[in-house]
Amino acid sequence: MTTTEPNTAGRAIDPTSAVDHGTGAGDFAHEPTTVLITGANRGIGLTTARRLGELGWRVLLGARDAGRGEAAAADLAAAGLDVSALTLDVTSQDSVLAAVERVRAHHDHLDVLINNAGVLGATGDPARTIAADFIAPYGVNVLGPVRVTQAFLPLLRAARRPRVVMVSSSLGSITVTSDPQRMEHTTQELVYTSSKAALNMMTTQYARAIEQVQFNLVDPGYTETDMSPQGTQTVMEGTDAIVAAAQVGPGVTGTFTDRFGVVPW
Ligand SMILES: NC(=O)c1ccc[n+]([C@@H]2O[C@H](COP(=O)([O-])OP(=O)(O)OC[C@H]3O[C@@H](n4cnc5c(N)ncnc54)[C@H](OP(=O)(O)O)[C@@H]3O)[C@@H](O)[C@H]2O)c1
């Protein structure tokens, strides 16, 4: 697959605009905001954990591998941040339910859930893609956010103003990928693109169905991580939209943004 650089020149916005609060002041008086980030032991998830920790938030650093999660959380905790590891494999119902119980043992609510864990999967010529190619990537990118969101809904509903951030991609936008002016247009691939398009639809459905929770989608942009070693943005830039969406003001739900503004569907 040719993963491509979004054509975003000249669209810069302040990623902290429309932000409700930028300090550690929590959604409950005298309590920090509690956030769970899936797939946070490296890449975009790890930098998101650090940035939200630096705001004074209490960060639950999700990782499917306990050792990798503990190591990443220990690094951030050593820097004085309130970060603890939470073992959570988004493809395993048992793992997710065990994570819910561990969170419930220490917290009576969850303010923000960031469904960040994702995989590229095998990519290639659509004409040669077979049905089996979809199974593993869909398990992480599509079923994972459903499994985690559904399991954590009771803790989210116990928060004063719960928010869910879904980490999508401009490669899941039919408008962007159909536009010959956009670099994403050169990507011809079935699995990853359609998994993020499915995530987009699921999220707008959640947003309309569950009014108590704010559900928003973000595109990090083409970011240099293990997933995209040729990415043209720094991982700091790649987390701007997530950090903003985690702090979005009351009433904002069902949106799709990147660090420059609105992403078309
Ligand atoms: N990088 C980009 O250019 C870009 C652009 C648009 C969207 N995105 C999206 O941004 C998100 C983060 O991507 P990234 O670039 O940071 O990728 P990355 O560096 O490859 O990191 C992916 C993270 O997801 C975790 N993960 C994978 N499968 C998991 C599972 N079953 N359960 C729990 N965690 C799992 C990985 O854990 P392990 O370390 O255990 O493998 C890792 O922590 C993804 O949703 C991706 O689709 C990225």
Tens of pLDDT, residues 157-170: 999 999 999 999 99
Q: Is 167 in the pocket of ligand 1 (CB under 6 A)?
A: yes
pLDDT at residue 135 above 80? yes
- Dihedral angle at the C-alpha atoms of 235, 222, 5, 231, nearest 10 degrees? 60
In the set 138, 196, 206, 222, the catalytic residue is: 196
pLDDT at residue 11 above 60? no
d(CA 42, ligand 1 centre) in Å: 8
d(CA 41, ligand 1 centre) in Å: 9
How large is the average pLDDT for residues 231-255? 98
- The larger pLDDT score, comparing residue 28 to residue 49, is at 49
For this structure, is 138 an active site residue? no
In 3D space, the residue among 239, 253, 232 whose CA is nearest the CA of residue 8 turns out to be 232
Residues 6+ apart with CB under 8 A from 222: 3, 4, 5, 6, 228, 231, 232, 233
123 vs 135, 170, 211, 219, CA distance in Å? 13, 16, 36, 19
d(CA 139, ligand 1 centre) in Å: 13
d(CA 81, ligand 1 centre) in Å: 22
Residues 6+ apart with CB under 8 A from 221: 6, 8, 170, 233, 237, 238, 241, 258, 259
DSSP E strands in 67-121: the ranges are: 83-87, 112-115
Contact predicate 203/216, CB 8 Å? yes
Q: Residue 23: pLDDT band by 50, 70, 90 thresholds?
A: very low
pLDDT at residue 57 above 90? yes
- The larger pLDDT score, comparing residue 23 to residue 248, is at 248
Identity of the amino acid at 90: V
In 3D space, the residue among 234, 129, 242, 139 whose CA is nearest the CA of residue 190 turns out to be 129
Q: Is the pTM of this model over 0.85?
A: yes
How large is the average pLDDT for residues 129-144? 97
What percentage of residues in the chain have a pLDDT greater than 90? 87
What percentage of residues in the chain have a pLDDT greater than 70? 89
Domain ranges in the chain are 34-262
For ligand 1, mutation pick of 44, 113, 202 (most atoms within 8 Å of CB) = 44
Instruction: Give the pLDDT score at 19.
Output: 44
Task: Tell me if the domain spanning 34-262 has CATH number 3.40.50.720.
Answer: yes
Instruction: Give the pLDDT score at 28.
Output: 60
The string of pLDDT tens digits covering residues 77-121 is 999 999 999 999 999 999 999 999 999 999 999 999 999 999 999
Q: Is 89 in the pocket of ligand 1 (CB under 6 A)?
A: yes
Instruction: Give the pLDDT score at 102.
Output: 98
For this structure, is 222 an active site residue? no
Instruction: Give the pLDDT score at 6.
Output: 34
C-alpha span between 233 and 238 (Å, rounded)? 6
